Amino acid sequence: MDPLLLFIYIFLFPGFLFLFAYALTFEYLDRRIAARMQHRVGPPFFQPFADLIKVLGKEVIDPDGVDRRIFDAAPLIALAAVMTAYLYIPIVGISPLAFEGDLVLVLYLLALPTILLFVLGWLSRNIFSAVGGVRAVTQLFIYEVPFFLALLAPALMAGTWSISGIMVWQQQHLWCLFLQPIGFVVALIGLQAKLERTPFDIPEAETEIVAGPWTELTGRRLALMHLARDASLVCGSALVAALFLGGPQVPWVISPAWLGWIVGFILFLVKTLAVLLILSSIKVATGRIRIDQLNRIGWKYITSAAIVQVAIVLAMNYWWVRA
């Protein structure tokens, strides 16, 4: 790719600038959908942006005895990890940075914000933050296994560990949503837990531990972590759309190329918004569960369902080879 086009792709559109704008739009839509489902008005369109600007300007308060450098660096690393993962997800077509194995890299990068939240909670010397951090990492060990299995099943079926490669395979065959419905449901549940949204908002249960690992975050640190979470919602939705809904690809060739990019981008918007609608509906329709309930449900039902889906995929691949 031409260096100028690559610069535009990474930093402007559909790169970081678009990611920040779409992340704030996602937050607005998430809050608006929840409000309408609960017969409330909801916030105005500019509210997420206004909140971000306001919190960025607030004073940064350092808890006694903590390493300020770690507290400054952790939100930046979390946001950088999500931004890097976003570059490998198809937005308007095949990602120019795609390589064999980028799916594994993206899954690793999307797990970093939770790990960093645990570090912040543990080092803050605040009991509420420490308990929330422990809950966050405990929850991580529960949902990551079925979430990884659900997202790796399309890779097994397509015979590639590239997100763009899986998307192209679906263009030539059939959406993984129809071939792997169990994996799609598990992926949505795992994504809801990864983002710590209701009913999996156990690490920041306000009625129990104030805000969990977020308690001692102030000023720009809090703003950057919130932005990282909003960006994670976009990346997670785009990843599920790419692996199960065909991403921005259409099953036919569109000429000229720029028209194909426009159509692909519209499909990206529609599919990611559809995933957001499902996640918002789950948040509104459910109540918070306890960590022991998540442990039982996660290992007994969700992980079992993910393993069954992988077994079905392996059986289908064997049948296709034999046929």
What does the pLDDT average to over 297-308?
92
The DSSP result for 18-79, as a single string, is: HHHHHHHHHHHHHHHHHHHHTT-----TTHHHHHHHHHHTSPP-PPTT--HHHHHHHHHHHH
Domains in the chain: boundaries = 3-322
| pLDDT tens figures, 51-98 | 999 999 888 888 887 888 888 899 999 999 999 999 999 998 888 888
Rounded distance, CA 277 to CA 296, Å? 27
Q: For residue 112, what pLDDT is reported? A: 93
Contact 185, 192 (CB under 8 A): no
- Cβ(113)–Cβ(232) under 8 Å? yes
Task: Report whether pLDDT(1) > 70.
Answer: no
Judge contact between 215 and 124, C-beta under 8 A: yes
Task: Answer whether residue 322 shows pLDDT above 60.
Answer: no
Rounded distance between C-alpha atoms, residue 38 and residue 159, angstroms: 44
Long-range CB contact pairs, 176-182, < 8 A, 24+: 176/243, 176/244, 177/244, 177/245, 179/313, 179/316, 180/153, 180/154, 180/244, 180/309, 180/312, 180/313, 182/305, 182/306, 182/308, 182/309, 182/312
Amino acid at 261: W
Position 106 pLDDT exceeds 80: yes
How high is the pLDDT of residue 88? Answer: 94
What does the pLDDT average to over 168-192?
A: 92
Cα separation, 322 vs 97, whole angstroms: 35
Kindly indicate the confidence band of residue 102, based on its pLDDT and cuts at 50, 70 and 90.
Answer: very high
Task: Assign 8 a pLDDT band (cuts: 50, 70, 90).
Answer: confident
